[in-house]
Structure 1
């Protein structure tokens, strides 16, 4: 049962990471398509226009990259230390459990904060349906659950 939860956590975080990475790739593509012509950059007005275009795009891609890093590290930590091999001592297992617990909480909090406050000023309000929200929340909950299980196993 524990192994199934750990594998589900790895798969959920991999899927979330793939979608975040795809969003970054699409964002970079649209960024490159939307860049102004190089002739207009010779004036101060052109540089200011470029700066107003680049800063929101860079901030949006940075927010998505932080989420990608959190999900990737969660998947790597669970897969490497729990699914493929078992941690040696109880101290190592408790440390990994605390890391996973904090990563799961951070993943959920970062998603909520970025969707609620960071992204709407740069782009329009993002509409998620119930299935998409459940997938994102499920990844966070499975990571938190894996961390709790690891700390419980270390204590016993």
Structure 2
């Protein structure tokens, strides 16, 4: 399977611009989940009419496996403006189980109640454990059970298939 990162990003930009127009979303807050989601969000910023800088979210302390997995040695800072009654575009690189997105939404709601949350995902693996689906998807992938998608970057940003660990 060959992954075309540029095609997936271009598809996301087009879909996101159309989605925002259809839903009358203006001046949204684009939020990237550390780290891959931030890299993807940086590429999407040009597709969103907003005066806000890119916001970032580190969900380390919101994960439901925190007690099992322990603290990630590199915790990034969450940088989120006032979100009360604002439209939020939440961006991540891969949607697999949905647990990362659930954790991200929990953290967002700790900052306030947004008017809406739009989920934009680069690759949806379709292995959802929670009832979470993306509004914008760069590409839907069906992988073998022993495969995962790995995004590296940010410069250059590259995508590869790797063996599951």
Q: TM-score, normalising length from structure 2?
A: 0.28
Bigger-Rg structure (1/2): 1
More strand per residue = 2
Higher relative contact order (CA 8 A, sep 6+): 1
More helix per residue = 1
